[in-house]
Structure 1
Amino acid sequence: MTEGAKIVLGSASAEDDLRLPRAPGVIRAFWARHPRLADVALVIITLLFAGPTFILGQVFEPPGPAVSALILVLMLITALCLLWRRRHPLIVLAVAASPLVLTSPDISGAIVGLAPTFAIYAVAVYRSNRAALWALGITVAANAAVSTAWMVFGSVPAGEGIPGVVGNATMLLVGTLVGTNVGSRKRYVEALIDRSRQLARERDQ
């Protein structure tokens, strides 16, 4: 048997010896086996959360057909972009949080919902904690700057703008904290698995 064949067989033996534990709980194991289904469920939850706010706005303070259509389109885009949160978390966050800097605070409140929270969570889990913290600071600062400009030069009163900024910052902070916790644990487990595989290969060789 050649040396290359021995290394290949040794690697296969190492993989056989490494017995990984199953994900705890039936629900977590199900979502781990069906990641795309989890993403679709996340989009549905986001739309269900933002839907009542949009409907109430149409009933009590209708902004007009053009603005209503814009709100609806942006709400769908910010929710649907979560389908790509695993592959392109930073781009998804930019899209999900875009209403916070492109629209006035009274309009963005009817659009964003939970989308930026889920998006910045994905940045922490699928990129890094540092990227999530930078994204948090930039997003909150941009939202505060835009809201301040609307309160000073626009028609948005401080009683609406300030609570909106605080609420958005709080939701983004929650998503970041949860994401950094989950992401750190995920990367730690992956490092342990890689190290175990390396030790098993070295033992067989």
Structure 2
Amino acid sequence: MYEDEAVTEPHPLTQLLQRLTQRVRAFDRRRPLVWDLLVTAFFVGAALVDASGGWRNVAPNTDVPGPLIFLMTMGLSLPVLWRRRHPMAVLGVMVATGLVNSWSGAMLQAALIQMLVLFSIAMRLPLKTLGWAGLMMTAPLVVGAIRYPEDSWDQQIIPNLWAYALIALLGIAVRSRQDYTEALVERARQLEVERDQQAQLAAAAERTRIAREMHDIIGHNLSVITGLADGGKYAAAKSPERAGQALDAIGTTSRQALGELRRLLDVLRDGAPAPAELAPQPALTDLGQLIDGVRAAGLPVRTTVHGSPDTVPAGRQLTVYRVVQEALTNTLKHGGPGAKATVDVTYAEDGVTVEVTDTGAGANRGTGTTPASSPGRGLTGMRERTALYDGTLEAGPLPRPTGGWRVHLHLPKDSETTP
């Protein structure tokens, strides 16, 4: 192995211990009562083995009656069953039994089972409670040292206190590790939720953007085609040449719409075998071509431009283009016969200002499809594009008696491009 290679795989023995620990914890979560019964049965069995006669090897008083030995054995081991639900009550019973054990001189080894309860207290209860538990467990040690002073105090009490302290520290360490792991799991869960929410928001925003682009592309071109077809229908009887020109314009507009739609769908297609055909987004220099197409569809448009679009960023240029496109499309669809449109574009120090007005009837306007009181995709798309650049958009009917419709757009200058 090279020195710069990172060791990512744990030792096989560590993996085995981790798997065993996970299985034990999983069993404990599924069957807590079964696990408590197994643990209690183990310690009761070990205590009974000591009570059968082994306790006399270390007891300062070997004349303790057998029934008392049995009762103390049960008092020191059986309460383990309830150690997790009522740890302090269990410790109280075991300490009381331990006082009798120390006073009688039996010194049953089952008294060491108190350390298991101390571990549970360190795992689940506040540190203040842990301090009281330590004082309670010290009482039998003091009683035994006073009642049977065979060795010095430090030999009878200090080793046990060190054992209690180590068990308490072990419980605190395991508790801290569990809290840390739970915090990591919760953090990971929150990150997954945030990731899913961000993905949903991004998908919703992308769907909105795609819907807006498709509406602008298809809606405008279909409106132009409709105008050309209507004009060609009237011209067919009187001027076949004009009808042929209208059909040529319909074909050109249709191919342009199909090309833009194909490019958009190629970008959306998953796993496309070839890179999608790309083309520049419309800019302010394309406004002339846009207006010529609208004029060809039968809508007279007068254009006035003040200033130069050279300093306008591409994103703002696209927004201006789409707003003009949507406004003229609405005039084509709802302006009625004899409608005329005016497009005024001003490039100033404070930004871009566009005003599109027409002399149409002005009824059922504001959406492209529905009355102005119920905004649809057209006006909504214009407002969304304007909001991206902190601009303002006003759309509504002109006052009578002139009538008509007005769309006013202002996009402030990009602060990042200001010298």
TM-score by length of 2: 0.36
Q: Is the CA contact (8 Å cut-off) linking 2:62 and 2:106 kept in structure 1?
A: no
Which residue is equivalent to 1:179? 171
AA aligned to 2:85 is: R
How many residues were matched structurally? 176
Shifted more, 42-51 versus 121-130: the winner is 42-51
**Is 1:147 the counterpart of 2:155 in the alignment?**
no
Which residue is equivalent to 1:31? 24
Q: 1:130 to 1:188 in 2, by over 3 A?
A: farther
Q: Is the CA contact (8 Å cut-off) linking 2:138 and 2:161 kept in structure 1?
A: no
Which residue is equivalent to 1:158? 150
Per-residue CA distance 1:141-188 (angstroms, 9 max, x = gap)? 4234433542xxxxx233397644344324322321221111111122
AA aligned to 1:172 is: Y
**Is 1:41 the counterpart of 2:29 in the alignment?**
no
Q: 1:140 to 1:184 in 2, by over 3 A?
A: same
Distance 1:166 1:128 in 2: 24
Whose helix proportion is higher, 1 or 2? 1
Distance 1:72 1:51 in 2: 8
Q: 1:69 to 1:124 in 2, by over 3 A?
A: same
Distance 1:47 1:163 in 2: 28
User: 2:157 aligns to what SS in structure 1?
Assistant: helix
| Equivalent residues in 2 for 1:102-141, closer than 5 Å | 102-104=100-102, 107=105, 109-110=107-108, 112-136=110-134, 138-141=135-138
Q: Is the CA contact (8 Å cut-off) linking 2:145 and 2:157 kept in structure 1?
A: no
Match of 1:193 among 185, 190, 194: 185
AA aligned to 1:187 is: D
User: 1:25 aligns to what SS in structure 2?
Assistant: helix
Match of 1:169 among 140, 156, 161: 161
User: 1:109 aligns to what SS in structure 2?
Assistant: coil
Which residue is equivalent to 1:86? 84
Q: 1:41 to 1:168 in 2, by over 3 A?
A: farther
Structure 1 position 128, deviation (Å): 3.7
Q: Is the CA contact (8 Å cut-off) linking 2:55 and 2:107 kept in structure 1?
A: no
Which one scores higher on RCO, CA 8 angstroms, separation ≥ 6? Answer: 1
| Structure 2 segments unaligned to the other structure (5+ residues) | 1-15, 199-419
Structure 1 position 193, deviation (Å): 2.6
Q: Is the CA contact (8 Å cut-off) linking 1:120 and 1:135 kept in structure 2?
A: yes
Structure 1 position 50, deviation (Å): 3.0
Q: Is the CA contact (8 Å cut-off) linking 2:76 and 2:98 kept in structure 1?
A: no
AA aligned to 1:29 is: Q
Q: Is the CA contact (8 Å cut-off) linking 1:47 and 1:76 kept in structure 2?
A: yes
Match of 1:74 among 67, 72, 75: 72
Q: Is the CA contact (8 Å cut-off) linking 1:49 and 1:114 kept in structure 2?
A: no
Q: Is the CA contact (8 Å cut-off) linking 1:124 and 1:180 kept in structure 2?
A: yes
RMSD: 3.4
Q: 1:126 to 1:58 in 2, by over 3 A?
A: same
Which residue is equivalent to 1:153? none
**Is 1:63 the counterpart of 2:56 in the alignment?**
no
Q: Is the CA contact (8 Å cut-off) linking 2:40 and 2:81 kept in structure 1?
A: yes
Identity %: 23
AA aligned to 2:63 is: P
TM-score by length of 1: 0.66
AA aligned to 1:98 is: A
Q: 1:171 to 1:52 in 2, by over 3 A?
A: farther
AA aligned to 1:31 is: V
Distance 1:108 1:97 in 2: 15
Q: 1:201 to 1:90 in 2, by over 3 A?
A: farther
Distance 1:111 1:169 in 2: 16
| Structure 1 segments unaligned to the other structure (5+ residues) | 1-22, 151-155
User: 1:159 aligns to what SS in structure 2?
Assistant: coil
